[in-house]
Amino acid sequence: MTTPVLDCRDLRKSFDDLVAVNGVGFSVAPGETYGLLGPNGAGKTTTISMIAGLLERDDGEVLVEGRPLTTTSVSAKSAIGYVPQEIAIYPDLTGRENLRFFARLYGMSGDDLTRRMDEVLGIVGLADRADDPTKEYSGGMRRRLNIGIGLLHRPTLLILDEPTVGVDPQSRNAILESVDQLSAEGMAVLYTTHYMEEAERLCDRVGIIDLGELKAEGTRRELVSMVGERDEVLLALAGDVEAAASACRALPAVHDVSTREEHMELVVDEARKALPAILEAISYAGSAVRSVEVTEPDLEAVFLHLTGKALRD
């Protein structure tokens, strides 16, 4: 088994009386995108801050590539690229100066630094504005630079803390695409969000967190099936609906069938896999399918099931 890029166990943190994080632990494999999904106040940022070594832990352990990481043990921090939720750049320095400063803090120098800086500027699309003071950047540009700084030192694990909050749809899409790209190139990513769509789109595995505790984790499939949610298939038919219904009821993957006029609604396991059999059964029963709609249960439903609350209020 390869060493996980990140392995954290039993993280705990309290602020006065408030228990913010209560025994959270998970691991991120190399090249994996792991999402921490939870509503505001769930403890995502506190957990991330402990992992990145910004906040003192009350208890627990953090290992990055097998090396322990604390607020004082600094070498392990080189493996992490941190992109905080709020934009953390110096307004009176230019984009290039910001990048150079942080690159040097991470031990880069010389030609390597210059090359990598230009590379990152290209990746985040700021090459032409690199020499302007960042206070003149638009909001989207600042966000891109914010992410760029995290990438500079070629980290093994990129930590993004709610990078799309308050961002316009276009920029948000650009950010998600970048993360997709980085992930495809083999970077491990730890991504926190309260947007289910992002978690579903980007993450290989998702950890659902609420009130400082990790309620469940796994791939989307695993989570969904963990709570017994099944897919729904809605078909508009031409022909004998009842015959089609009976045919489908006989299929092992189908759990329930209901009809309404010319529509048939099925509750099935893994609709994508079962669909060919369903379509065959319907055609065999002498009906024709006019339209198919597959609704897979989403993480929002999982969250609701696990916590009794909505993911977003």
Partner 1 sequence: MRAALLIAAKDLRQRLRDRSAIMVAVVVPLGLAFVFNATLGGISTEGVAFRYGVVDEDRSEISAVFVDEVLPAVEEGGAIRVRSVPSDAEGRRSVEAGDLDALLVVPAGFGAAVEGSGAAEIRVVGDVDEPTAAQVARSIASTFVADLNAVRVAVATVADPHATDPAELDALVERAAAVATPVDVVDVTATTKELDVTTYYAAGMAVFFLFFTVQFGVASLLDERKDGTLSRLLAAPIGRSAILGGKLLTSFVIGTLSMATLIVATSLLLGADWGDGIGVALLVLSGVLAATGIMSIVATLAKTSEQAGNWQSIIAVVLGMLGGVFFPISQAPGFLPTLSLVTPQAWFLRGLSDMAGDTGWTVVLPAVLAMLVFAAVTGAIAAVRLDRMARL
Residue 54 tokens, joined = 């910004």
Locate tokens 């590379």: which residue?
A: 119
Kindly give the interhelix angle for 139-151 and 169-184, rounded to the nearest 10 degrees.
10
* Residue 205 CB, nearest approach to partner 1 (Å): 23
Q: Is the Cβ of residue 79 or residue 248 nearer to partner 1 in the bound state?
A: 79
Positions that interact with partner 1 (CB under 8 A)? 49, 52-56, 71-72, 74-78, 80, 82, 84, 86-93, 97, 101-102, 104-107, 149
Q: Is the Cβ of residue 129 or residue 230 nearer to partner 1 in the bound state?
A: 129
* Residue 76 CB, nearest approach to partner 1 (Å): 8
Residue 207 tokens, joined = 């950890």
* Residue 204 CB, nearest approach to partner 1 (Å): 24
Residue type, 26: F
* Dist. CA 310–CA 300, nearest whole Å: 7
Question: Do 122 and 52 meet the contact criterion of CB atoms below 8 Å apart?
Answer: no
Strand 33-37, strand 205-210: pairing: parallel
DSSP state of 106: T
* Residue 164 CB, nearest approach to partner 1 (Å): 17
Cα 85 from chain centre: 14
* Residue 220 CB, nearest approach to partner 1 (Å): 29
Residue 186 tokens, joined = 């083999």
Q: Is the Cβ of residue 133 or residue 239 nearer to partner 1 in the bound state?
A: 133
Q: Is the Cβ of residue 141 or residue 282 nearer to partner 1 in the bound state?
A: 141
